[in-house]
Chains A and B, each alone.
Chain A
Amino acid sequence: MAVATAGAVNAPKKSRVKDRQASMYPIWLLYPAAAIYGILFLLPTITSLYYSLTRWTLFNSEFIGFDNFIQFFQEPFLYQALINTVIFAFVTSGLKVVLGLALAVLLTSPLIARDFLRSVVFFPVLVSTVGVGITFTILMHPTEGVINETLAMIGIDGPGWLVDRNLALYSVALVDVWRGVGLATVIYIAGIVSIPADYYEASRIDGATRWQQFRHITLPLVRPAMFTVIILSFIGGLRLFDLIWTMTKGGPGFSSDVMASVVYKQYQSGFYGLSTAGNVVLFVLIAVLAVPLNMFLNRKVVTR
């Protein structure tokens, strides 16, 4: 800091020289967005952090130091919820990243009924969570559900998808993938169509097979899309609770509780201070996992 100031004083001429980047990409372009985001999201969110240190009923708040955090870490099923959160995030984002890419490659290749298929894949994204929840609760019914009835036809005794304690979380994860893969696919499609056609033409002349084209052109060039899908679905997976809430409410018992649903339950119960503390903990957890990931991915994008 001191050095910079000294430098500016010693070289008054330098301060006149405009930063080229600054004039090409002036910071005022960020102002409208920064104003909306800063005022309506960051400011209230940061002020709310204070409430994590209070017993807060919305009507009154009483400062209680770190009691909420202590209480939060004493949640009886917190450890299990933590494990569930990480499992859920990895399973869903992993599947979305891979299946989304597969579907996108398929849906950008010349297929009959391509538009129809794109719509079909995207359709689940449009259906409200409530609808998805009810639909799959019914389809996954252990005895009368279509899924197990179909499995029974080929001689498999289907599991109790949502009612088995060891399976419920994974079942919800599968439904989340079903619901979210369309989004990943659309992002991937945007990435794939952004790849100049020349590359494919050149590689075709070079005699590349479809797999080689995928491996050496699509895969490296679709990276920005892939990183977007990774980061969005991973953070989304860590924070998801709405689908869990509509499908299992964290059950049976507490077996499919994740951090976000634990926090949400506290919020629903009116434990506002405690749930704010829980959000802070969840935020730290996500930040610890996602920020390094994001930095890593960003570096890869920039050095492209």
Chain B
Amino acid sequence: MMLKKLNATLAMGGATALALSLAAPAYAQDQVELTWLVDNGPSTVDIAEALVAAYEEKNPNVSIELEIRPGGGEGDNIVKTRLATGEMTDIFVYNSGSLLQAIAPQQTLMPLTDQPFMDNVQEAFQSVVSTDGEVFGVPYGAAQGGGILYNSAIYEELGLEVPQTWDAFMENNSAIDEAGYIPVIQTFRESWTSQIFVLADFYNVLQAEPDFAERYTNNEAKYATSEAAQKGFERLAAIHEAGYTNEDFNALGYQEGLEMLANKEGAHYPMITFAIPSLETNYPDQVDDIGFFALPGDDADSNGLTTWMPAGVYVPQTTSNPEVAMDFLGFIASVEGCEAMIDAVGANGPYLIEGCGLPDDVVPAVRDMLPYFEEGRVEPALEFLSPIKGPALEQITVEVGSGFRDPASAAELYDQDVRKQAQQLGLEGW
């Protein structure tokens, strides 16, 4: 069918304009229905609903139906399974960065490289949704930073300054501890929260070893042998050893962590900024007391933020209506689409669309984050630079953060985990 259409178009003398004008009415008149698979992550559904509503208003002949899937590993499996069996929806949301490589984008996705709307998408994002010179996705939501959410009321009360170095951070902790507050909130019941000290330290790793990501991918750099990379584990251990965490760190979950932070029980919560909307919803009165700073390193001069790129929106090759799907992606990558997202969930980070600025009334935590982006003191997290991320990291960091395992052996164990991942990916040199 496709082939025939293509031949017909060529027979008309390659008149692209004509083809478009033929195609346009085809969906301008007929009712078009698209399906869109989104995960059930924080505010993902809200964003999707807002985008669909805005788009449908503009294009009354198009209706887009949302299908929800779980997030995390289970969700990854669903996406892979459906792509592999040719049963994907017309549009879908999926991770950017290393995980994108696992769905074989060249085989399964429609490239967006030549789409005019890609000019609106910032280079920083394009790089994490590209393979072999082709770009595949548009950003879904805002960029995030990994660091420390802190309670500025406690800081004010104790007269503390936002730390620029790890030592300063530890001094603050000591002061906070003496004042009877919990210096660092940890919530290992949800083990993913234990990884932040390692993952968000990557800006600092890159300061020390600018080629770490590349060498790591090539099986040259190791956590166990890189002093800079091992620091993440060491710092996690140091916090535990100093007794700066809440006593029930291993029994609490993420929501309770946010609650402790908002209620001024704890001063610091190592977290990624996607927690901010949740704070806004659940603690509207306290959210103004929550600030944010990057995970400090050794040197105040090279202080910067490790960032997480938003997920991408992709079109599978099996889509029922590529034209409309592309048009919708163009809408997401437009200022209009971006504003629909901001209306839906607020501004909790820079959107990676040209011309899409943030309103002035953002919450303090977001305001604290923006300068890093504006001043260029940002580096993407390792998972956006390398396809390898060991799956057992969160269990290892729980062990380190609970004092069962020393940082050196943790780094070694993680290297082992990483090797397994690399071998499973079939990477060269492993």
Interface residue ranges, A against B (CB under 8 Å): 55, 57-60, 62, 67, 71, 76, 137, 141-144, 160, 162-163, 165, 249-254, 265-271, 273-274
Contact = CB atoms under 8 A, between A and B. Distances in A.
A59 B106 CA distance: 11
B404 A59 contact: no
9 contacts: A57-B102, A60-B104, A62-B426, A141-B251, A163-B251, A165-B404, A251-B188, A254-B392, A270-B76
B257 to A, nearest CB: 14
Kindly name the residue among A58, A142, A143, A144 whose own CB sees the greatest number of chain B CB atoms within 10 A.
Answer: A58
Nearest to B397: A253
Contact of B420 (A162, A250, A253, A271): A271
Contacts of B352: none
Nearest to A273: B424
B402 A142 contact: no
B307 to A, nearest CB: 23
Given A58-B81, A268-B73, A268-B77, A254 B251 contact: no
Nearest to A247: B189
A110 to B, nearest CB: 44
B76 A253 contact: no
Nearest to A274: B424
Q: Which interface residue of A137, A249, A265, A273 has the most chain B CB atoms within 10 A?
A: A249
Contacts of B318: none
B102 A251 contact: no
Given A144-B248, A271-B420, 14 more contacts: A55-B424, A58-B84, A59-B83, A62-B426, A76-B413, A142-B251, A143-B248, A163-B251, A165-B404, A252-B188, A252-B402, A268-B73, A270-B80, A273-B424
A162 B402 CA distance: 14
Main secondary structure of the interface of A (DSSP, over half): loop
Interface footprint category on B: 35 or more
A22 B401 CA distance: 66
A269 B73 contact: yes
B306 to A, nearest CB: 22
A254 B405 CA distance: 11
A108 to B, nearest CB: 40
Nearest to B399: A253
A80 B193 CA distance: 25
Contact of A250 (B80, B395, B416, B421): B395
B162 to A, nearest CB: 32
Given A252-B250, A253-B404, A269-B391, A137 B77 contact: no
B31 interface: no
A62 B83 CA distance: 19
B399 A254 contact: yes
A268 B250 contact: no
A57 B99 CA distance: 12
Contacts of B247: 143
Given A58-B84, A252-B402, A270-B77, A265 B248 contact: no
Nearest to B106: A59
Contacts of B103: 59
Contacts of A249: 191, 394-395
A90 B104 CA distance: 43
B398 interface: yes
Contacts of A62: 426
B342 to A, nearest CB: 32
Contacts of A270: 73, 76-77, 80, 102, 424
A269 B251 contact: no
A160 B423 CA distance: 38
B107 A71 contact: no
A142 B248 contact: yes
Contacts of A271: 420-421, 424
Contacts of A268: 72-74, 76-77, 391
B9 interface: no
Given A76-B416, A268-B73, A271-B420, A253 B248 contact: no
A55 B188 contact: no
Interface centre among B81, B250, B399, B425 (most CB of A within 10 A): B250
Contacts of B120: none
Contacts of B253: 137
Given A251-B395, A253-B399, A265-B392, A57 B420 contact: no
The 9 closest A-B pairs by CB, nearest first: A268-B73, A269-B391, A253-B399, A163-B250, A59-B104, A58-B84, A271-B424, A58-B80, A163-B251
Contacts of B423: 55, 67, 71
Nearest to B188: A252
B35 interface: no
A162 B250 CA distance: 9
Contacts of A137: 189, 253
A125 B424 CA distance: 38
Nearest to B189: A137
Contacts of B104: 57, 59-60
